[in-house]
Structures are given as structure tokens and as C-alpha cells.
Amino acid sequence: MLKGAAAALVLVATSGHVWPGEARVAQAGAAPVVRLYDDNPSHLWNRLHAALFVRVADGREYGTDRVDPLLWIGSKHLLQGASHERAVQLIHEFLDNHGETRVRDPLKRAMLQRDLWTVFDWLQGTHGNFAQPRLSEEAVRRGVEDLSAAIGAAIGRLALSPGQIDALPDNYAAAARAGLVPADLFSPRGPWVSVGRDDGPVAVNHVGDLGVGRNSVFLVFIKLPGGRDATLRYVQRLHAYSGPFRTASGYPSPDIPQFPAGTEVALVRRALLIDSDGRIVATRIVEQVQHRLYREIPPWSPQELDLGAGRGQEVDDVMLSRAALFAGHAGGLVSMDAAGPLFLTFSDQGLDAFEMKASDPSFEGGRRRTLGMNASEARKLCATCHVAPGVYSFNSYLPFRLLSPEARPSRLSEISMADAVRFAVQHKPQRAEWRALQTLMRR
């Protein structure tokens, strides 16, 4: 799946841009250097992006071109201190000087709006579990309010027309031509079957996440070794299963229809935008693709949960790089193996990795552990939510929290991509942060 990754990476690496997780040396006392939106790091859009996305620790800069900002529920970053003051100053400079006019390229405008929206939703979310010294509720409220109003107004100013959004590039197709992702994934009669629910978005844990990453459409695909017909029969069988979902011990039932070795599952994350009419619109811009191949399906047993996370699974993950996207290389998608230090912010509710003190468990001998993970470590961590064999790790059907009494499996069935997108878009306006943003965008 990743055969074209090396060539695509070389092309962009030689342009001087920074990879999604690459950590570059920070110049003492100097502002982070970003050249994503313009070759001049002093360009307002570059400075604003640096203030919101770049974190500095141990003499290095992190996160310049990550899909999501390095923000956790436990982050004090952007809520107080120099980072907050810098972000407030720059977003007001953007508004006061009509920063939305500095760049006309619709793709770059789309990405900045998308990034500001991500930060806005993080601000509107839950904040707590801070490292010492903890922030008071009043300090959090002030920090959120100072930034939210201005960011909301900037999001509205960056809105593209419906026609401009329709004309944004199909970056998945470009990545498929480069060999980074399956070329036949979206083929209507191809071997992959899009699965979903008729009562809402399919990836409920992702769209309901308390951290960053909620402004996306998630599409789920499955492919059995026997081709499309075999896959459809299996999905129908899974949908029709009415037996017990738990054993007397509370574990998932071994009677649930299992898929065979060689089965593949793909999770595709696509960006949402807000158009000039104030509507939420799904785009063709793919932010991330996770591809899982089940080379073997160990027999189910409670002990399997302790034998090794995701045993028998192979995982590939590609993620969006703005530098590669703007340069037109492989649709802007790059392999996690080439992305440098990786951080779990998506679906994470923990402490801020950059704000932990020497007394925290993540420090050893008074020193911080290495910031970020390599691709192998990240795969192991992701597998903790997909630990069980085969269908038991297919969280779109069996939530990994199934062992809790209130969790219920989803009744999945084949669904068109158009319907899957529609259900995801309809879900977003129900959230409180969207209602808050609608008011602020009009200012």
C-alpha cells in the first residue's frame, strides 16, 4: 500500500518543508519558523499557524505540520501565559488587518479555516486533568473566551463559496496514483464495501471525541478475501445476528460471526468546512487513512486480550501534510513511518505531554521521556483499542468499551458514501460548540 511513499517524501523533503511530526531545532528566544502558507516566515498566516500548532520543548519545535494541533484536555497551552497572549495578539492582528485577504488560494484558505475550527472546538470542549499547578475554572473560562470570539470571527471570514469547495482537489485520488492508499477503495462496485448505520455517523467514538478531531467525516470500509459478494454476504450476516453479545462473564460472545483471515478494514477521515452560506459542508480532502489487514484471526478467548495488542494485524496509516498538499505531491498524504515523532491527541483525554513536571509518571529519574512516539510505538498504542481478534476489534460494530454493561453493538449494513457523509454532516449541528460558533461567525 505504501510503495509510492518514499518517492513522494523525497520530493517534499527537498523543498525545505517540515514533516507532520518532524521535530526541528528551536532557535533560542526566536519565534518558531513556519513556511506553510508563504515562503516568508513573517507572513501573518505562518505566524498565526505557528502560534496555534507549534510547541517548543527541550530545544526543539514540534507539530508544525501535524493533522491536529498538539492540544489535550489537560493542556494549559493557549489558555494562559505567553502562548495565550501570542495567540490572542495574532488572531486580532488577523481581524484588524483583514488577514483573510492575504491569501487567495482556495485550498490554503480551506486549510486555515479547518485548523482554526479545530482549535475553536478544542476551546469549547472539556478542560481539566491539568498538571500542577492546576488552572482554576475561572482562569479556563477567561482563556477560552479571549480566544474563542476572535477565532470564530476569523473562521467566518475565511469561508469559501459552495462552488469553491466543490472545486477543491481530490487528494485521495492523487495519493492512490502514488501507491499510498488502495486505488479501488471508493469504487462503487469494487471489492470494498462501505458500511454504516441508518441512525447516525458510523464512527461514534471518533465524532463524539472529547479531544481534537471532531470536524471530520469518518467513512468505514471492509473487504473480505472473497471479493465484494463475499463481503456483502458477511455484512448481511453480521447485521442479522441476533444471538447473545456477551457471555455470562461479560466478554463478547464467541457466537458473533467472525470474518476470515485476510480481511481488510479501512477508516477514512475527510475534512469538513463551513461555506459562505454558513453551512457545514463535506469536502473531498482526506485527512487520514488507516488501513488494517488481519493476517491471522486467533481464536477468541478472554486471555487473548492479554497476549498482545492487535495480534495478527498489520496497520498502515497515512496522514495529511499541508506542505505536501500545497506542493501537489501525492495528494498531501504521507506515511506515518516518515512522520517523525507522533503524538496521540486524537481520542486522547490525558495530560499535556509538554507540560508534565518531573514528579509526573512520564518522567524517569527527573528527566522527561522522549517526546512523541515512532511509528511502531504508535501502532501498538492504537492497537489497544483494537486488541481483540478479528471482528471483536472492529469497533464500528463492537465498541472497544463493549465490556461495559451499557455498550451495545451497532447494526451495520452496506451504505452509500453519500449517505455516510450525510449522516456525519447532520450530526455536527447537534453539538453545543457548533451553536456557539454560529453566533460568533456573524461578528
pLDDT score of 12: 34
Give the Å distances, CA to CA, from 428 to 215, 345, 422, 431, 442.
8, 20, 10, 6, 19
What is the residue-wise DSSP string for 349-412?
Answer: -SB-TTT--TTSTTEETTEEPPSSB-HHHHHHHHGGGS-SSGGGG-TTTS-TTTTSTT------
**In this structure, what are the phi and psi dihedrals at residue 317, rounded to the nearest 5 degrees?**
-140, 130
- Closest alpha carbon to 339 in 288, 389, 283: 288
* Cα 170 from Cα 156, distance rounded (Å): 24
pLDDT score of 367: 45
H or E element, residue 420:
helix 417-427
> Per residue of the chain (443 residues), what is the pLDDT tens digit?
444 433 333 333 323 344 454 566 666 567 788 999 999 999 999 999 999 999 998 888 999 999 999 998 889 999 999 999 999 999 999 999 999 999 999 999 999 999 999 999 999 988 988 888 889 999 999 999 999 999 999 999 999 999 999 999 999 999 999 999 999 999 989 999 999 887 666 655 555 554 555 788 889 999 999 999 999 999 999 999 988 887 777 777 888 999 999 999 999 999 999 999 999 999 999 999 999 999 998 877 666 655 455 568 888 889 999 999 999 999 999 988 777 777 777 655 567 888 876 445 554 444 444 577 777 777 766 666 666 788 888 878 776 555 555 556 678 889 998 988 888 888 778 778 888 899 898 76
Q: At CA 51, angle to CA 46 and CA 56, rounded to 5?
A: 110
- Closest alpha carbon to 389 in 296, 263, 262, 264: 296
What is the residue-wise DSSP string for 173-238?
Answer: HHHHHTTSS-TTTT-TTSS-EEEE-SSS-S-HHHHT-SSS--SEEEEEEEE-TT-HHHHHHHHHHH
H or E element, residue 157:
helix 137-157
